[in-house]
Amino acid sequence: MIKTIKPNLNLRLLLVSSVILTVVLFAGCVGKPQQEELVLSNYPKLFEKDVVVVVGENASQIEMEGAQAIADNLRNLTGNVPVIKKDVEITENEKTGYNLILVGTLDTNSMLRDVYERTNATRVTEEYPGAGKGMLEILRSPWNEDRTMLLIAGSDKFGVREGGELLEDYKELNRSIILSSVKPTALIDVNLSMEGLPKLNQTVELLFTVNPHTSFPNTSIQIQLPEGFVLVNGDLSWRGDLAKNETKRIQAFIKAIKTGNWTIVALARSFREVDSFTETEGKADALFISISEETATVSKKQPVLQRPPMEERVDIQSK
């Protein structure tokens, strides 16, 4: 007699369930690999293509120059030419489809403010890390985790410049955050000097050296002589455009014609038209000179006025 064996449905369901469970567990094991931690030493490899450098709509001249320097640096290192755009020009497609480099401060770059709201990136302010300081931070883009974002943020424009200069030393960076503790530097260095002592009726050489650390368009340079001196030969003024790190020297030969205490002042200023107002940057230097019939002294320090003793001052005031 032939027996008919009925299939065990419970066993079949159990086997099928086991297979499904095994597949689910296996799928969990071979899911999306854990993303590697981002570090600044990976720069510029992470920005070899599809890069937009973003500055604020009201970015300062220093921030604009910093963005251009970063773009030029990436072009030299990778052959890629990044696009520089203002925050208000960035599209949603660019946010999600590109690696972004944000340059600026909380006040100048709205996208930087947006990133601080969306991520745990370190907020750079005058309170932390402080005035004149900048920070570099690399992180995954809050708009697309497959894209990388680099923040070059400063508490002010000087801090932004410090952060940009740190980026040039990317080979030395091995942390995700690098702080600059450098104090804000002057936009321009000036020095007024004199060859020899300006004795009465003797000609001496006066030299004013100007060296800007950023471009100085529409620059005015002036040396102001007091009434105790006259110009013998040379120039006391100049006007023109100065490039970054370009040195300009104004040379004049002058002569003291009167005894007394005199101050020679030299000033370099740049005038930039920004929207509806004029932005001025500049710096001055001075020489404090004392001329007598026989001798002369020159100093960079302003002399301290000698005040009469207290008794004499009381008597003078009481008269």
In this structure, are 174 and 46 located in the same domain? yes
In this structure, are 52 and 103 located in the same domain? yes
CATH code, domain with 126: 3.30.379.10
Closest CA relative to residue 290, chosen from 308, 275, 305, 271: 305
pLDDT at 36 (0 to 100): 59
pLDDT at 304 (0 to 100): 55
Q: Which helix (H) or strand (E) holds 177?
A: strand 177-179
In this structure, are 210 and 145 located in the same domain? no
pLDDT at 197 (0 to 100): 93
Given a contact cutoff of 8 angstroms between Cβ atoms, the answer to whether 161 and 51 are in contact is no
pLDDT tens by residue, 140-184: 999 999 999 999 998 888 778 777 766 765 544 544 444 443 344
The boundaries of the domain holding residue 218 are 188-299
The verdict on residue 138 lying in a domain is: yes
Give the tokens for residue 109: 């770059």
pLDDT at 103 (0 to 100): 95
pLDDT at 161 (0 to 100): 79
Q: Please give the Cα distance from 132 to 130 (Å, whole number).
A: 6
pLDDT at 131 (0 to 100): 73
Strand partners, 77: none
Chain-centre distance for alpha carbon 319? 58
The number of distinct structural domains making up the chain is: 2
In this structure, are 49 and 175 located in the same domain? yes
Alpha-carbon Rg for the chain in angstroms:
33
In this structure, are 222 and 246 located in the same domain? yes
Which phi and psi angles does 44 have, rounded to 5°? -100, 10
CATH code, domain with 236: 2.60.40.10
Low-confidence residues of the chain: pLDDT under 50: 1-32, 171-172, 174-185, 276-277, 305-319
